[in-house]
């Protein structure tokens, strides 16, 4: 599906959660279709390189954390900033050039049309993950964790672990995202919350690049993330059975705004 800019109803904001992204930021931004995107906001998580100076030089709206808040903490700032900027659709795009910005029109169109509330750029649909250089251990872990979550959450996603996501304003405004982790687990928690509260999730095939200059978490943090995914899935199930009422699955949980 492509997006006719003359028919688009929504204000689209792209958010870039950045940490030491100076080497890849220009490549990422150069592929963003400005006929589709109304504003780009970069949130810098206390980078030690020239990310902020480069972003400001490119004319991007730039927010800087005085100290490192973590990947999830960065996303929280991204989404608050986008909602404050009156976004109707928010796309999170990593500025490390791992995901192609050329999918933005398709992802935005699927939400703007009213078909979905969330659209994921999936590396697993098709054959893009391994061809793009995803390490075998990460591919296997992705498949095992996704299978586990699909069973427990009664969903049929090709993967839960992509960092390329588009959201309707309603998703970001209504989910209790302030209750989520400030670390990488935030990515998984938000999808669990979306499924729990009945939002519609679609996927598009996304080629990906694994390069030395692209960001990646180490094996220990990957293991910590995997254990967090399992715990989040168990909490989801227990909440559905009404045995517990964790804050991340509570209608009264803290929102971003």
| 117 within 8 A of 193, measured Cβ to Cβ | no
Q: Is the pLDDT of residue 212 over 70?
A: no
**pLDDT, tens only, 232-254:** 999 999 999 999 999 999 999 99
| 94 within 8 A of 25, measured Cβ to Cβ | no
What is the per-residue pLDDT for 7?
Answer: 60
**pLDDT, tens only, 48-73:** 999 999 999 999 999 999 999 999 99
Both tokens of 102, joined, read: 């050329």
Q: Is the pLDDT of residue 6 over 60?
A: no
53: how many CB neighbours lie within 10 A of its CB?
12
| 100 within 8 A of 31, measured Cβ to Cβ | yes
**pLDDT (mean) for 215-227:** 81
What is the per-residue pLDDT for 95?
Answer: 96
**pLDDT, tens only, 69-88:** 999 999 999 999 999 999 99
What is the per-residue pLDDT for 133?
Answer: 73
Q: How far is CA 56 from its chain centroid?
A: 23
What is the C-alpha separation between 188 and 234, in angstroms, rounded?
A: 13
Q: Could you tell me the pLDDT band of residue 8, with boundaries at 50, 70 and 90?
A: low
Q: Is the pLDDT of residue 125 over 90?
A: no
| 162 within 8 A of 91, measured Cβ to Cβ | no
pTM of the model: 0.92
CATH number of the domain at 12-249, please? 3.90.550.10
**Phi then psi dihedrals of residue 108, to 5 deg:** -65, -40
Q: Is the pLDDT of residue 1 over 60?
A: no
Strand-pair category, 39-44 with 61-64: parallel
**pLDDT, tens only, 187-209:** 999 999 999 999 999 999 998 87
Q: Of 175, 165, 158, 147, whose CA–CA distance to 104 is shortest?
A: 165
Question: What is the domain partition of the chain in residue ranges?
Answer: 12-249
């Amino acid at each position: 599906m492509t997006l006719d800019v003359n028919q688009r109803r929504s204000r689209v904001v792209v958010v870039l959660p950045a940490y030491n992204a100076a080497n890849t930021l220009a490549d990422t931004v150069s592929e963003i279709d400005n006929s589709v995107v109304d504003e780009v906001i970069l949130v810098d998580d206390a980078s030690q390189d020239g990310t902020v100076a480069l972003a400001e030089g490119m004319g991007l709206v730039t927010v800087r954390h005085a100290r490192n808040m973590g990947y999830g903490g960065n996303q929280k700032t991204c989404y608050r900033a986008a909602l404050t900027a009156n976004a109707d659709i928010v796309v999170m795009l990593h500025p490390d050039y791992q995901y192609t910005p050329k999918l933005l029109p398709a992802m935005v169109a699927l939400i703007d049309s009213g078909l979905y509330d969330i659209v994921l750029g999936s590396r697993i649909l098709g054959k893009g993950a391994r061809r793009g250089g995803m390490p075998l251990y990460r591919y296997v872990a992705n498949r095992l964790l996704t299978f586990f979550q699909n069973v427990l959450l009664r969903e049929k996603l090709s993967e839960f672990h992509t960092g390329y996501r588009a959201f309707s304003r309603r998703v970001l405004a209504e989910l209790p995202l302030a209750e989520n982790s400030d670390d990488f687990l935030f990515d998984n928690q938000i999808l669990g919350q979306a499924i729990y509260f009945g939002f519609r999730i679609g996927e598009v095939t996304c080629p990906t690049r694994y390069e030395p200059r692209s960001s990646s978490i180490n094996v220990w943090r990957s293991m910590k993330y995997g254990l967090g995914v399992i715990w989040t899935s168990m909490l989801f199930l227990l909440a559905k059975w009404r045995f517990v009422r964790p804050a991340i699955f509570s209608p009264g949980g803290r929102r971003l705004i």
